[in-house]
Each structure stands twice: as C-alpha cells, then as structure tokens.
Amino acid sequence: MFPASDVIHLSEDMPQEPKDHPEFWKIWRETIKRIEPRDIDYVFASEPYGERLAKELDARFIPFDLGREMMPISGTEIREHPTKHWEMLPECTHGYFAKRVCVFGPESTGKSTLTRKLAAEFRTVYAWEHARALLDPKGGSCDQSDIPLIAQAQLSLEAALLGNVNRVLFCDTNLLLTEIWSEVLFGDCPEWIRTAAEHQHYDLTLLLDVDVPWVDDSQRYFPDQSAREAFFERCKMALEAKGDPFVILSGNYDERFHTACDLVRTLIS
C-alpha cells in the first residue's frame, strides 16, 4: 500500500511483554537503535505501550485510536486469522492471504461441477480447467504439444484470479494432474512442468473417488472401472509423495459437496 516506505524488518526473537524479561525496555531500545541508527522522531501506536517506547527512544508518542473505535481489532488478531477477518485486510493483500483449494482426481468424477458449486457457495472465483476449452474445438483430441499450453494457461489463470478472490480460490485441476495425464497419454512430461508442479502448493486438495458412474463425452478416455481405479491410485500416490494435505471425497455428488463445504469452512474459519 505504501511502496515508497522504508520498511525495516526485525526478525530476532524478542520479549513481547515487560513480564517476559527484567530488561524488556532496554532490549527493545538497544535493538531498535541498532537496526535504525538514525534519530527517531515519532512513535505511532494503537497500544498504551507506545508512550513508554517513545520515551525510551527520545521520541514523541502519537496515539492512534487507543479505544479501538475506528478499527475494532488488533493487528495480532488479523495476523492469526487473516481469512476470518477478511474485511479488515487491504484488497491488495487478498491474493497473498487467500487459501487455495484444488479439486483433483480422475476423469468423470464431478470435478468441474463441484468446483463451480463451491465457488458459488463461498461467493468467490475459481480457475476452470483450461484443457477443456483448448481441446473442445479439436473434438477432444489431445496432442503432446497441447500439454505445455494447458500447464501455462493454468498457471496464468490462477495468478490472474487471485486479484478477485474472496477468502478462497478453487482450482479445477493443477499442474500435478497435468503431469499425470501427460505421462499416461504420452509416456513423458516436460521437465519444467514437473518442476513447477513441485512448487505449486494448495492448502487443501480434494481427491475425488471413482465410485460414481462414468459419463462419456469428447474428452474421456477410461470407461473401464479397473482403469479408473488405477488412475485414482496413481493420483493418490502422487499427492502422498508431494506431501500437500488432501482428503478423499467419496459418495454421491451431494455428499461430496456437503463434505467439501465443511472442510472449506474449517479451513477459512
């Protein structure tokens, strides 16, 4: 919000209250003067400690809303639960603090429908599966040259949508699933996609089970149940190897939706 400001970070482990250390004020005075040797003119604070800190620094205390009437919350509370206090966050920080939820798994398990319903339920945006938009004009046929386009589009889509997110961004697929499909269809995957997938993390991944009927369309490959189960196991193993938190959603579509809603509410509360 203030790009011209000179922000000095204090990363040392410091006592947080006078009762934490008998030389609390000395420690803070000497530390601040060490990291900022210039004279300090003013200390702005919304806490009473500002008066004593200003005195220690030979500065003038400028109190701001000590009664918490203009801003009825502390910075500490916001930092502890950013999504819970979303309306208190500057809009330009929303993309940073938003939770990311990926809907993941084999084809014909309701990923796209679930993603749309979750976005509507939580009044936010979602990153749709770009592969479908890219391949539909080709009758659903996927060529090896399409894989990098699909991966790059997913990356760009997620980044762009973070500007309009409301607490949580839902993603219908990700680079790890693109990597799996590339290996299944073509036996290989571009190395940059593998590397990018390793660094693409989600706060929660919803892995959809194959216990719902397979529905044919122009972009479906594995109608056989054993093949679907094998693909599911491959997805599960990939998520376990990556280490991101995930939950398997089974049951009918309504059950999956209600379970997913409960999980997301817990995530952002």
- pLDDT for the residue 73: 87
- pLDDT for the residue 3: 87
- Do residues 59 and 43 make contact, with C-beta atoms less than 8 angstroms apart? yes
- pLDDT for the residue 45: 92
- pLDDT for the residue 218: 65
Higher per-residue confidence, 73 vs 260: 260
**Residue 229 maps to a domain:** yes
Q: Are residues 165 and 253 in the same domain?
A: yes
Residue 135, pLDDT > 90, answer: no
Q: How many CB atoms lie within 10 A of CB 178?
A: 26
Beta bridge partners of residue 126, listed in sequence order: 170
Domain of 109, CATH number, reads: 3.40.50.300
The model's pLDDT over 178-234, given as tens digits with 9 standing for 90+, comes to 999 999 999 999 999 999 999 999 999 999 999 998 887 766 778 889 999 999 999
For CA atoms 132, 136, 137, 143, the dihedral sign is: positive
Residue 68, pLDDT > 90, answer: no
- pLDDT for the residue 70: 87
Higher per-residue confidence, 34 vs 217: 34
Quick one: pLDDT band at residue 95, thresholds 50, 70, 90? very high
Quick one: pLDDT band at residue 75, thresholds 50, 70, 90? confident
Residue numbers of the domain that contains 244: 86-268
Q: Are residues 121 and 220 in the same domain?
A: yes
As a whole number of angstroms, the distance between CA 261 and CA 23 comes to 49
Q: Are residues 246 and 167 in the same domain?
A: yes
**Residue 78 maps to a domain:** no
pTM: 0.83
Q: Are residues 181 and 136 in the same domain?
A: yes
Q: Are residues 152 and 51 in the same domain?
A: no
**Residue 79 maps to a domain:** no
- Do residues 64 and 134 make contact, with C-beta atoms less than 8 angstroms apart? no
- pLDDT for the residue 219: 66
Domain count, the chain: 2
Give per-residue burial for 225-248: e unless 16+ CB within 10 Å, then b: eeebeebbeebbebbeeeebebeb
Q: How much of the chain, in percent, has pLDDT values that exceed 70?
A: 99
Residue 252, pLDDT > 80, answer: yes
According to DSSP, residue 167 is labeled S
Quick one: pLDDT band at residue 138, thresholds 50, 70, 90? confident
Q: Are residues 132 and 251 in the same domain?
A: yes
Using CA atoms, how far residue 9 sits from 42, 68, 162, 194, in Å, is 18, 25, 26, 34
